Amino acid sequence: MNVDRKAALRRIDEIRRVLLADWDPLSVGSNPKLSDEYDFCLGKVLKAIDTGEAGRVVDLLVEMEDYLGVGPTNRESLAPVARRLLELPRT
């Protein structure tokens, strides 16, 4: 496996960890068998993070919560999650 691929996989793992630890609207983070529960949105999360705009990340989290049937959420409560995602190292 080349270095770029390893770095990309590490980035995906970090995003997954933040979603499970800091966001987790379905409360599945403590179950290792469900660690891939939010993988359906990883591509969209990557794109939102790459904009560098916390508002875009919050918009996406709200959209995903609505899709999962657990919204609406207070947007202010999602701002720390967006900041955490934006602080992750880029590859």
**DSSP string for residues in 14-43:** HHHHHIIIII-TT--TT-GGGTTTTGGGHH
**0.85 cut: is pTM over it?**
yes
pLDDT, tens only, 9-55: 999 999 999 999 999 999 999 999 999 999 999 999 999 999 999 99
CA distance 65 to 50: 20
Res 1 pLDDT > 70: no
Burial degree of 23 (CB within 10 A; 0-12, 13-18, 19+): buried
CB-CB contact of 37 with 26 (8 Å): yes
